[in-house]
Amino acid sequence: MWKISNRDAEAIIDDELAKKSLSRYFAVMQNKKTAKFMVAKLLPAEFDENAPIKTLWEEHKKRTEDFYKIENALDTRNESEFPKPKKSYFNLKIEIASKILKKCHFCSRRCRINRSAGEFGYCKCGDTMLVSSIFAHLGEEPELVPSGTIFTIGCTICCRHCQNWAISQWIETGNKCKPLDVAVAIKRLRLSGCKNVNLVGG
């Protein structure tokens, strides 16, 4: 297996201040603690997919209180000791996100259009990820490098100083990527030595 890195990024692993201020991030990066999305998959949640979004948010609020308990428990116990729930806090988040998409209010523009039905709001993003590039980014802060970066098309803002304008303002069109394609790309980046996944764009 080959690894991409740079000298600053390697030195930061042993930097006491960085280790102290980013202790959980470092532990997850080194496979010593469970990533939050994995914790979310182990936390049971009870909900009806057809319930209104307000009800789903209420359940989300309740489960968020439990999230930190299970996260702490997982720090000292093995994931296999926790039964896989039928419906999890992670599933609940997916359900809420898909309802938001149908009356989009992911950002403060609150376009309220149905992205799942092919409508477009200010950002012109639909319900499929359009990818510009996938690569191990060496230009981020040393704590993050190499960073598994996925640039996607579109943005909810239109800044004059944007250094990624070709991506954020649709000069490029990007390539459609299914969730599984993105997951495979993330796995490859991780196996090549990337410390994280860095999703940038719309």
Q: Which residue has the tokens 């303002």?
A: 169
Q: Report the interface residues with ligand SF4, using CB under 6 A.
A: 104-107, 109-111, 121-123, 125, 155-159, 162, 164, 168
Least Å distance, CB 165 to ligand SF4, is: 6
Closest CA to 194 of 151, 153, 152, 134: 134
Q: How far is the CB of 81 from ligand SF4 (least distance, A)?
A: 39
Minimum distance, C-beta of residue 189 to ligand SF4, in the bound complex (Å): 21
- The least CB distance from residue 110 to ligand SF4, in Å, is 5
| For helices 53-76 and 89-102, angle between their N-to-C axes, nearest 10 degrees | 150
Give the residue with the Cβ less far from ligand SF4, 70 or 125: 125
Task: Tell me which residue has its CB nearest to ligand SF4.
Answer: 121
Which is nearer to ligand SF4, 36 or 109 (by Cβ)?
109
Cα angle, residue 70 at apex, residues 69 and 76 outer, rounded to 5°: 100
DSSP 133-187: EEEEE-SS-TTT-SEEEEEES--S---TT-TTHHHHTTSS--EEE-HHHHHHHHH
Cα separation, 174 vs 130, in Å, equals: 5
Give 78 or 163: the residue with its C-beta nearer to ligand SF4. 163
Of 142 and 202, the one with the shorter C-beta distance to ligand SF4 is: 202
Residue 108 CB-density burial (10 A; 0-12 exposed, 13-18 middle, 19+ buried): exposed
When the beta carbons of 41 and 93 are compared against ligand SF4, the nearer one is 93
In angstroms, give the least distance from the CB of 176 to ligand SF4.
18
- Report DSSP state, residue 105: -
Q: How far is the CB of 121 from ligand SF4 (least distance, A)?
A: 3
Closer Cβ to ligand SF4, 134 or 153, answer by number: 153
